[in-house]
Amino acid sequence: MTKAIVPPATIGIVGGGQLGRMLALAAKAMGYTVGVLDPTPNAPAGQVADFQLQADYADVTALNELAARADVLTYEFENVDLNALEAAKQQAALPQGTQLLAITRDRLSEKTFLRDNGIPTAAFAAVPDAAAVVPAIHQIGVPSILKTATGGYDGHGQVDLNTAADVAKAQALAAQTPCILEERLPFQRELSLMVTRDGNDDVRTFPIVENRHANHILHTTIAPAPDLSLGLRRQIAGLATTIATALDLRGVLGIELFQTTSGVVVNELAPRPHNSGHYSIEACNFSQFAAHILSICGLPIAPIELVQPAVMRNLLGDDLAAARAAWPAHPEWHLHDYGKAAARPGRKMGHLTVCGPKLEELLTSVTLEGDHHDKD
């Protein structure tokens, strides 16, 4: 067993957004001291932490200061400077390591890792430059999606390829940055689950959930995913265990999957807590955030159980103000406000979770006045 790091030890979190905030809240409830590195004054995580270092994520001096003040380091998003993190490891434990980030921040290395470990994915090809676009299309076919190998989120940094008319736009994207071309699979729905390994190296999987999107951004998560056969649940849990073991995982990892007519394929990995795992705060015996803290601190984690079904709904932009106004009429809501300074269209400002046995009632409960989302 890994030597456990227990309170009042200090946990340093690189990144001060909503994931860092909820990690900090989970850690504080256990008695840990929490420090945050983020360039935003009074960042969401900084508001609930013991201290915040206001500096850029690539600021080596600031990262070293955080490491010097911490017993263990973690991160809440992928785009951290790997060299700076490696240097910080000299002063504080970094149980997740940097290899996890190196694999998951690059779509080509991530897909290659999955394929090499026997995990089903969509067909893919490397597109290092504009000249590689047409040969990749001949290999993968259409419809397909060209994605930047690094960066890009919520539909950004992508070009859909359906006809010859789309090739020029794809070449323009590939001329700017290395890309990956992926087969576009017809799928029935998106599923996901969180997975972790505890201090005894036991793999713990969270329930498999269904995700519904609007404008390429997660809108609602249904836990557990309805109408999922026992065989498919076992298969997905097995894939998650294979991935977690191959990565020597510490912390939690999000696994996004597509359910197709011929089975499931893994679409993407997230080396941190994930939006689709927020329901676990109210609906599971351990939240994804508590599990992350326990894992990086080398502590054991009991098998994860869904205590009651739940629906989580994101609050984007002005949704938060609408939810606040409607809250007095909804005693069943668990309202989470991320403490961000300004609302912008598409910006994740908070979320709602409701729990109970009847799915349709839960979905109706989280509908706000003015909702008219086109699901993608």
Assign residue 151 the CATH number of its domain: 3.30.1490.20
CATH code at 87? 3.40.50.20
Query: Is residue 107 domain-resident?
Result: no
> Among candidates 104, 113, 122, which has minimal Cα distance to 242?
113
Of 48, 79, 94, the one marking the end of a domain is: 94
Return the percentage of the chain with pLDDT > 90, whole number.
92
Query: Is residue 355 domain-resident?
Result: yes
User: Are 193 and 51 in the same domain?
Assistant: no
User: Are 355 and 251 in the same domain?
Assistant: yes
The per-residue pLDDT for 2 is 66
The per-residue pLDDT for 374 is 44
| Domain count for the chain | 3
> Among candidates 224, 235, 199, 227, which has minimal Cα distance to 277?
224
Query: Is residue 109 domain-resident?
Result: no
User: Are 136 and 229 in the same domain?
Assistant: no
Over residues 139-167, the pLDDT tens digits come to: 999 999 999 999 876 667 899 999 999 99
pTM score of the predicted model: 0.95
CATH code at 337? 3.30.470.20
Cα 87 to Cα 9: distance, rounded to the nearest angstrom? 21
The per-residue pLDDT for 43 is 98
For 332-370, give one letter per residue: b (16+ CB within 10 A) or e: ebbebebbbeeeeeebbbbbbbbbeeeeeebeebbeeee
pLDDT-wise least confident of 34-48, 80-94, 128-142, 243-257: 80-94
The per-residue pLDDT for 123 is 97
Q: Identify the residue whose tokens are 């269904």.
A: 210
**CA 56 from centre of chain:** 21
Distance, first Cα to last Cα, the chain: 44
- Cα–Cα distances in angstroms (integers) from residue 24 to residues 38, 65, 327, 328, in the given order: 13, 18, 25, 28
Query: Is residue 318 domain-resident?
Result: yes
User: Are 164 and 202 in the same domain?
Assistant: no
User: Are 331 and 219 in the same domain?
Assistant: yes
The per-residue pLDDT for 372 is 64
Contact 66, 76 (CB under 8 A): no
Query: Is residue 228 domain-resident?
Result: yes
Over residues 300-332, the pLDDT tens digits come to: 999 999 999 999 999 999 999 999 999 999 999
Structural element, H or E, at residue 66: helix 60-69
User: Are 90 and 141 in the same domain?
Assistant: no
Query: Is residue 101 domain-resident?
Result: no
User: Are 153 and 255 in the same domain?
Assistant: no
Mean of all residue pLDDT scores within the chain? 95
User: Are 359 and 242 in the same domain?
Assistant: yes
Q: Identify the residue whose tokens are 């020597």.
A: 248
Query: Is residue 105 domain-resident?
Result: no
Over residues 269-308, the pLDDT tens digits come to: 999 999 999 999 999 999 999 999 999 999 999 999 999 9
Over residues 50-107, the pLDDT tens digits come to: 999 999 998 999 999 999 999 999 999 888 889 999 999 999 999 999 999 999 999 9
Residue 222 DSSP SS3:
strand
User: Are 212 and 171 in the same domain?
Assistant: no
User: Are 224 and 252 in the same domain?
Assistant: yes
User: Are 134 and 172 in the same domain?
Assistant: yes
User: Are 219 and 249 in the same domain?
Assistant: yes
277: containing domain: 189-365
Query: Is residue 336 domain-resident?
Result: yes
